């Protein structure tokens, strides 16, 4: 019994220690964000990496999400004679839930994993030590620009995801299933409120910070060798994805 | 210049340094030799504050760096240049950008001045014309030379070399050693070098310190080390399988 208690206790302490370490990492990186010199060129490069390079996959995912929503929604709504509500049936879940969550999961897979691997390789090849040895703060050079790039890129990519999704739904609902274009958009306008869009933005901002926090942390404190980097990358993607869904639920209860 | 006093460091149960004491004079070039995995790199990382010791102190120009952190430590680091084992060049930057990096970030110099200094540094290490290449496009020997150019570009007072010749062929090994002695003469820095190159290292440095079982077993000029009667030193220099050093 004492052995079991000791095991549970030490496990809990280890989790708490890790959480504290992660929290210090986040606070440190955010605090460096407000101390000059600011690295605008690196920030632009990171926005390009996280944002621009994720566009193709975001457009693809967004359009098919909207198409699936329209296809399923149309048949369901027809059963209750409410096909006219297809516009809001596509737009509302997309803007409030699916857009922020699925785009965050997509960016985690595409950019988050790459960032963990990049920072991890910099760690094991002593590039981070080289920065420290040059009296240059690696947090400022590596982490802060990535965090800010995520804060800028995540909401923008989510907005693109939403818009493309709505047009994907339009294509299926209007062009393939014969709903009128006016009905699709006018009903959407009627049901959709600014609050819904705001919720989507808040969520994507939260997910952006969460994903970059986890991915940068895992890369920064990666284990030894190729195996360490591979493990850190896997952990970063899994942990980010789980945290996105947990945060989505709690944000959902907050905004419902 | 650098005074290491009773330095101790353990990683978990494993004691790596168990009381290293060593004095390094101004403008001296000293090599630290010893078994693989014997703590030489750990010792070097302490000198620049990348690791904190469990006990002991490191005094650099009168200041104990083991008590420092943050900006204070960064101030001391301005005096150092480090050549890491694998070069530690930034993958995303070209050779030119790698060498120019410390100048751009740490010194307020005009573009022309940076250009001139980078060209001079690359000339010193025989890499003019390679400016636009990326680290992935050059050989291991070239990487070491770029790392040396980057370490020297700010004209530091102290340069640390972590196995600068590992993995190089004998000709390149001599070329790098010559480069280190030439730049040492030109810039007059204090150099601490981790090395496995025996007997080549005897012709390069002023003194040699032999790290064994976490302490400095013996320190002296290359001549003194060669003439040492210490059985551990003798076995290590000869590379003999028989003797007090056990192969793990």
**Which runs of E-coded beta strand occur in chain B?**
2-11, 14-24, 29-34, 55-60, 63-64, 80-83, 158-162, 190-194, 207-212, 215-220
pLDDT for A105 beyond 90 = yes
Instruction: Over range A113-123, report the average pLDDT.
Output: 94
Full strand arrangement of the beta sheet holding B29-34? B80-83, B158-162, B190-194, B29-34, B207-212, B215-220
Alpha-carbon gap, residue B58 to B46, rounded angstroms: 8
Alpha-carbon gap, residue B28 to B132, rounded angstroms: 35
| Backbone torsions φ then ψ of B26, nearest 5 degrees | -60, 135
Mean pLDDT of chain A: 91
Q: In 10 A of CB B50, how many CB atoms?
A: 18
How high is the ipTM of this complex?
0.88
**What sign does the CA torsion over A188, A193, A197, A202 have?**
negative
Radius of gyration, CA atoms only, chain B: 18
Closest residue by Cα to residue B31 from B145, B198, B174:
B198
Question: pLDDT tens, B113-158?
Answer: 999 999 988 888 888 888 899 999 998 888 988 998 899 898 899 9
Question: pLDDT tens, B163-207?
Answer: 888 877 888 888 888 888 888 888 889 999 998 888 888 888 999
Q: Lowest mean pLDDT of A64-73, A240-249, B237-246, name the range.
A: B237-246
Residues 6+ apart with CB under 8 A from B55: B6, B7, B8
Percent of residues, chain A, with pLDDT higher than 70: 100
pLDDT for A168 beyond 90 = yes
The two tokens of residue B21 are 């004491």
User: pLDDT category, B248, cuts 50, 70, 90?
Assistant: low
How far does B90 lie from chain A, in Å, by closest CA? 6
For A125, the closest of B88, B102, B105 (CB atoms) is B88
| Per-residue confidence (pLDDT) for residue B142, from 0 to 100 | 87
CA of A137: which chain B residue's CA is closest? Answer: B74
**Residues of chain A found within 8 Å of residue B106, distances taken between Cβ atoms:** 134-136
Residues 64-83 of B with CB under 8 A from A: 74-75, 77-78, 80, 82
pLDDT for A103 beyond 90 = yes
User: pLDDT category, A56, cuts 50, 70, 90?
Assistant: very high
| Per-residue confidence (pLDDT) for residue A141, from 0 to 100 | 87
Higher pLDDT, A60 or B67: A60
Instruction: Over range B205-223, report the average pLDDT.
Output: 90
Residues 6+ apart with CB under 8 A from A217: A22, A25, A26, A236
For A129, the closest of B80, B88, B106 (CB atoms) is B88
Alpha-carbon gap, residue B46 to B63, rounded angstroms: 14
| Per-residue confidence (pLDDT) for residue B139, from 0 to 100 | 86
Helix (H, G, I), strand (E, B) or coil at B30: strand
Using the Cβ of B52 and the Cβ atoms of chain A, whether some distance falls under 8 Å is answered with: no
- Going from N- to C-terminal start, the domains of chain B cover 90-155
Mean pLDDT of chain B: 88
**Residues of chain B found within 8 Å of residue A122, distances taken between Cβ atoms:** 90-91
Using the Cβ of B50 and the Cβ atoms of chain A, whether some distance falls under 8 Å is answered with: yes
Instruction: Over range A214-238, report the average pLDDT.
Output: 93
**Residues of chain A found within 8 Å of residue B88, distances taken between Cβ atoms:** 125-127, 129-130
How far does B246 lie from chain A, in Å, by closest CA? 26
Helix axes A113-124, A40-50, angle to 10 degrees: 130
CA of B79: which chain A residue's CA is closest? Answer: A134
* Residue whose tokens read 């964000």: A33
- Going from N- to C-terminal start, the domains of chain A cover 54-255
Residues in A whose CB is inside 8 Å of some CB of B read: 121-122, 125-127, 129-130, 132-137
Question: pLDDT tens, A127-167?
Answer: 999 999 998 889 888 899 999 999 999 999 999 999 999 99
Instruction: Over range B22-36, report the average pLDDT.
Output: 91
CA of B105: which chain A residue's CA is closest? Answer: A136
| Per-residue confidence (pLDDT) for residue A20, from 0 to 100 | 93
How far does A127 lie from chain B, in Å, by closest CA? 5
Alpha-carbon gap, residue B198 to B206, rounded angstroms: 14
**Residues of chain B found within 8 Å of residue A121, distances taken between Cβ atoms:** 91
Residues 6+ apart with CB under 8 A from A98: A65, A69, A165
């Amino acid at each position: 019994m004492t052995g079991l208690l000791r095991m549970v206790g030490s496990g809990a302490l280890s989790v708490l220690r890790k959480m504290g370490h992660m929290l210090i990492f986040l606070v440190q990186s955010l605090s460096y964000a407000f101390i000059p010199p600011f690295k605008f060129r690196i920030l632009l490069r990171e926005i390009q990496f996280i944002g621009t390079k994720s566009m193709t996959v975001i457009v693809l995912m967004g359009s098919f999400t909207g198409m699936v929503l329209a296809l399923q929604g149309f048949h369901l709504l027809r059963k209750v004679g409410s096909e006219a509500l297809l516009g809001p049936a596509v737009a509302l879940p997309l803007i409030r839930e699916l857009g922020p969550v699925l785009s965050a999961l997509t960016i985690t897979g595409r950019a988050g994993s790459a960032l963990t691997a990049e920072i991890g390789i910099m760690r094991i090849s002593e590039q981070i030590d080289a920065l420290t040895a040059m009296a240059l703060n690696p947090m400022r050079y590596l982490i802060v620009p990535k965090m800010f790039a995520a804060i800028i890129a995540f909401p923008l990519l989510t907005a693109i995801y939403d818009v493309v999704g709505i047009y994907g739904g339009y294509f299926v609902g209007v062009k393939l299933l014969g709903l009128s274009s006016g009905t699709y958009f006018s009903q959407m306008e009627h049901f959709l409120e600014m609050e819904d869009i705001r919720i989507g933005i808040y969520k994507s901002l939260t997910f952006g910070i969460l994903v970059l926090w986890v991915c940068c942390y895992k890369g920064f404190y990666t284990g030894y060798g190729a195996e360490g980097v591979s493990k850190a990358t896997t952990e970063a993607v899994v942990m980010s994805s789980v945290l996105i869904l947990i945060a989505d639920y709690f944000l959902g209860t907050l905004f419902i | 210049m650098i005074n290491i006093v009773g330095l101790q460091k353990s990683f978990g149960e494993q004691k790596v340094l168990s009381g290293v004491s060593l004095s390094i004079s101004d403008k001296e070039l000293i090599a630290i030799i010893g078994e693989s995995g014997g703590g030489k790199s750990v010792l070097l990382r302490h000198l620049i504050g990348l690791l904190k010791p469990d006990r002991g102190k490191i005094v650099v120009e009168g200041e104990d760096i083991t008590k420092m952190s943050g900006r204070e430590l960064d101030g001391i680091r301005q005096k150092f240049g480090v050549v890491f084992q694998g070069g530690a060049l930034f993958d995303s930057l070209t050779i030119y950008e790698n060498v120019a990096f410390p100048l751009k970030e740490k010194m307020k110099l005009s573009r022309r001045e940076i250009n001139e200094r980078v060209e001079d540094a690359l000339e010193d290490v025989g890499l003019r014309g390679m400016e636009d290449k990326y680290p992935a496009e050059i050989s291991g020997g070239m990487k070491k030379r770029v790392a040396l150019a980057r370490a020297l570009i700010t004209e530091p007072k102290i340069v640390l070399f972590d196995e600068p010749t590992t993995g190089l062929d004998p000709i390149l090994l001599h070329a790098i050693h010559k480069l280190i002695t030439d730049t040492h003469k030109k810039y007059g820095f204090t150099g601490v070098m981790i090395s496995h190159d025996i007997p080549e290292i005897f012709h390069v440095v002023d003194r040699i310190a032999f790290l064994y079982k976490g302490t400095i077993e013996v320190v002296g000029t290359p001549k003194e080390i060669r003439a040492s009667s210490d059985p551990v030193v003798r076995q290590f220099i000869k590379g003999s399988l028989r003797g007090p050093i056990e192969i793990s």
